[in-house]
């Protein structure tokens, strides 16, 4: 093994993170021959301020949702459901057959289950006794 130092960075530069993600992407493409794409949806107010949104990626027949967030006063008004529907519709256009996400037990698990997501794995004793759930949905 080389004598390279390992450096822990609490606030890495965004270009360094992009570099790592790009290199992983290149490796994945070299192994599968398949490209992936980011998917980002935003909900904005009349002043173009972000008040909600969804971010993830599509690849390998999957939509992976990293983030779904809505401003507190907009929750339970149908916006989250609509963001999920639009993302799933776009994923289908991109050839995805499944959707996958992971959430903690304090992050509206019931909301995702109502949308047809099913738990396929979980980790316990996370963040002070919470659970970390892994969910999947068939889009077809």
pLDDT at 2 over 90: no
Helix residue spans in the chain (DSSP H)? 14-32, 79-93, 109-114
What are the residues facing 71 on neighbouring strands? Answer: none
pLDDT at 97 over 70: yes
pLDDT confidence band for 1 (50 / 70 / 90): low
Burial class of residue 84 in the structure, from the number of CB atoms within 10 Å of its CB (0-12 exposed, 13-18 middle, 19+ buried): buried
pLDDT tens per residue, range 38-89? 999 999 999 999 999 999 999 999 999 999 999 999 999 999 999 999 999 9
How many Cα neighbours within 13 Å face the side chain of 91?
A: 30
CA 10 and chain centroid, separation: 22
**Would you state the CATH architecture of domain 35-138?**
3-Layer(aba) Sandwich (3.40)
């Amino acid at each position: 093994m080389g004598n390279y130092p390992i450096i822990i960075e609490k606030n890495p530069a965004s270009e360094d993170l992009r570099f790592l993600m790009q290199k992983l992407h290149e490796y994945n493409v070299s192994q599968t021959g398949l490209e992936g794409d980011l998917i980002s949806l935003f909900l904005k107010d009349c002043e173009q301020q972000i008040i909600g949104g969804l971010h993830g990626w599509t690849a390998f027949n999957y939509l992976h949702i990293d983030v779904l967030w809505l401003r507190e006063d907009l929750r339970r008004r149908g916006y989250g459901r609509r963001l999920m529907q639009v993302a799933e519709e776009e994923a289908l256009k991109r050839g995805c057959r499944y959707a996958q996400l992971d959430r903690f037990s304090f992050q509206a698990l019931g909301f995702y289950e109502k949308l047809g997501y099913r738990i396929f794995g979980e980790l316990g004793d996370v963040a002070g006794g919470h659970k970390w759930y892994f969910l999947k949905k068939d889009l077809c």
